[in-house]
Structure 1
Amino acid sequence: MREFPPELLFEILLRLPPEDLLRCLCVSKAWNATIHDKTFIKSHLQRSIQTNSFGSLFVSATFPCNKCSFKFSDIYDDGTIERAMKIEQPPLQDAESGTPFPSALVSSNGIICIRTGLYEDDFVLWNPSIRKFKKIPSPTFEQSPSPDIHVYLGYGFGYDSTNGDYKLLGIANFNEAVHQCQIYSLKSNSWRKIRNMPCDEFHMIVSRILFSNGALSWLAQNMLDRKMHVVTFELATEKYHWFPTPVDENVQLEVLGDSQCIFRRLRTMDAWIMKEHGSWTLLYSIELPPMSRVNRWCLG
């Protein structure tokens, strides 16, 4: 192995899935050093994204007694999916310790961000492929401006490819015009305050914050004219952008591929996808049978 060209070894290891790389760590010190090298880790991630290799399906389910189960299933090149297998979980507090059940925020490049409480915000970053996890310190939001105002907390997790960093955005929404924003960086392993959104007349709907194409997105409603908007936050530049939605009632934000989508369900199921510069294109409009129609979706 000593005469094995380092460049060729790098290329061979680059094509292996994470579970095989774990086994290769024990081959030699040279192999171990190559796999742990930051350049190799970044190259392996980029190649996996570009070639759509080593795909997997993450499944989470919550059961009675606050028990949560996480499962993974590999997705093969031909699109077939094997049976989802239960995987070893990181050590999380459960109902017996008085902590609400854990919930997965989102998975980004195989890294899963888990919120381990509903009222006390503790987080864990978990990589089930290599069986490693990292506990994240809790954010320190300022106190509510009034004890009578309820605090709504929203979190979004994603990967900053420009800086090679995983980030977690936290938003404390006190009322229609008062909020605080903080961001966690895996590189620095710390939270810091960032510029708040310019939203004096907007109500932030931060119960669902989605990640796509390097940005986090959520819905906001203008309280003056009741118009709905999609707010995006670029993880690399930390800039906010606002885009009016194609419709303003009964809307739900989702992600399709790398694009934001707006769904509306009334007499029809309608879906729009966001193109460049905030323009929207109608994907489909399907007539619904009378029994499946609903009057309104919950926005908060």
Structure 2
Amino acid sequence: MEMAKSLTIAKVSNHIPEDLAFSAVLYKLPLKSLKRFGCVSKTWSLLFQNPNFLSKFRNNLISIPHSYYNDTSLLLNQVMYHDHNNSQVYSSMHSLFGEKYENRLKLEFPNPFQEEDPFFNILCCGSITGILCLFQHHKVVLWNPTTDEFKVIPPSSAESIPPPWDPSPLLYGFGYDHVSDDYKIIRHVCYFLNTQGEDWDDLLSSSQTCYEHLWEIYSLRCNSWRKIDVDIPRDWEVSTENGLFMDGICHWYSSCTKNDDECEHILVSFDLTNEVSFATLIPLDIDANEKCNFVQRNLMMLNGSIASISWYIHTSTFHISVLAELGVKESWTKLFVVGPLPYIQYPVGAGKNGHIFFTKKDGGLVHFDLTTQMIEELGGVKGAHYYSEVIIYKENLLSIGGINH
């Protein structure tokens, strides 16, 4: 009797109606779980090839509010041209609000940039912490727009070297380490020989010291830089605004060229607590009709998930893949294809619930709703700009000076 009962239960469990599984259970699971469950059966391994399931999963992913966005707003940072000759640029930042982002409030920058029409870059990795990392050449400043408090970051000993060598620091990540209650910046410092018209070989032979490239990390609590021994994939053309910070980890893109001249794309992740890095290969998720090194990529947060948006140069169709598990290349899953959008140039950020912002070829801005597939312009945004970026920002009443002391 017991054996018959066990066989009946097993038989029923092996024949769960697919409609029930799709509608009631599976599409609501996290992507990481679904990828791991692919080994359960062939049907489950082919879930993302089922249009009905894919549609339900996508809608669920972008429609359910994620805690990542609690009490957040959007900031629009633009670098604008001064004149028609496009010879000089300046920065302009606004807070966006309203159902269609129709309202904006201009933000005034901190004192270190109180020059006439200042220009600076933002390291986007840590914007969700409530503190922005601004930099202008070698000057780095932490700024809390909520309290208008700022902190000028001191230089490190790695920058104090004699000629003919010139240090070139490049910022990669910024974020909050909740274990040590500290804000940290990670950067790479490389050294170049400044010839100033002299022969390169003569300078190199006469130089007493040859400086090796190094990685450094800054601690706000200690107010100092220190060298760290890490092996991190490095990209000389890293985009400072193309980074993310989530749950104590900074993420950014890197790329390298293989022996066959193909470009390999990598998601680099750096844990601010343990100060270790790891890499996740990114597959070519668009039609392989051109070489991989012609692929453009942006990193974004899609309703709490790490996403990669890719497109070929001079095209207007954008492919969006979501990462299920760090370090696992196979866990990338392509979920959306946006376009073609003929007058769109490139993505500049993402908001809540599947809103993606793009810059137009004439310099204006639009936001695209992945749920409705509708696109709308942001009225009042100037067109003549150098670049734009949309940043998720969370207000923070924390005193920067409090952590520093």
TM over 0.5: yes
Change (3 A) 1:260 1:147: farther
1:91 to partner: Cα distance? 0.6
Listed one character per residue, the Cα deviations across residues 197-219 of structure 1 (whole Å, up to 9, x for unaligned) are: 255xx645433351232222222
CA distance in 2, matches of 1:58, 1:195: 35
CA distance in 2, matches of 1:227, 1:253: 15
1:243 aligns with 2:243: no
1:125 to partner: Cα distance? 1.3
Provide the residue aligned with 2:110 in structure 1. 90
Provide the residue aligned with 1:68 in structure 2. 91
Listed one character per residue, the Cα deviations across residues 17-57 of structure 1 (whole Å, up to 9, x for unaligned) are: xxxxxxxxxxxxxxxxxxxxxxxxxxxxxxxx958443222
Change (3 A) 1:108 1:287: closer
Q: Which structure shows the bigger proportion of residues in helix conformation?
A: 2
Provide the residue aligned with 1:113 in structure 2. 133
Provide the residue aligned with 1:190 in structure 2. 224
Provide the residue aligned with 1:210 in structure 2. 243
1:159 aligns with 2:176: yes
Instruction: Indicate if the aligned counterparts of 2:171 and 2:185 stay in contact, CA closer than 8 A.
Output: no
Provide the residue aligned with 1:263 in structure 2. 309
Change (3 A) 1:242 1:143: farther
1:195 to partner: Cα distance? 1.5
The higher-RCO structure (CA 8 Å, 6+ apart) is 2
Listed one character per residue, the Cα deviations across residues 202-241 of structure 1 (whole Å, up to 9, x for unaligned) are: 6454333512322222222333343221111111111111
Instruction: Indicate if the aligned counterparts of 2:167 and 2:189 stay in contact, CA closer than 8 A.
Output: no
Q: Which stretches in structure 2 are left out of the alignment for 5+ residues?
A: 1-65, 83-87, 193-211, 285-291, 347-405
The range that moved more, 63-72 or 231-240, is: 63-72
Change (3 A) 1:245 1:204: farther
Q: Quick one: which of 273, 281, 287 aligns to 2:333? A: 281
| SS across alignment from 1:108 | helix
1:127 aligns with 2:176: no
Tell me the C-alpha RMSD between the 2 structures.
Answer: 3.6
1:138 to partner: Cα distance? 2.4
Instruction: Indicate if the aligned counterparts of 2:244 and 2:301 stay in contact, CA closer than 8 A.
Output: no
Change (3 A) 1:286 1:86: closer
Matches within 5 A, 1:223-242: 223-225=257-259, 226-242=263-279
Provide the residue aligned with 1:46 in structure 2. none
Aligned-pair identity (%) = 27
Provide the residue aligned with 2:119 in structure 1. 101
Instruction: Indicate if the aligned counterparts of 2:74 and 2:95 stay in contact, CA closer than 8 A.
Output: yes
Provide the residue aligned with 1:7 in structure 2. none
1:162 to partner: Cα distance? 2.9
Larger Rg: 2
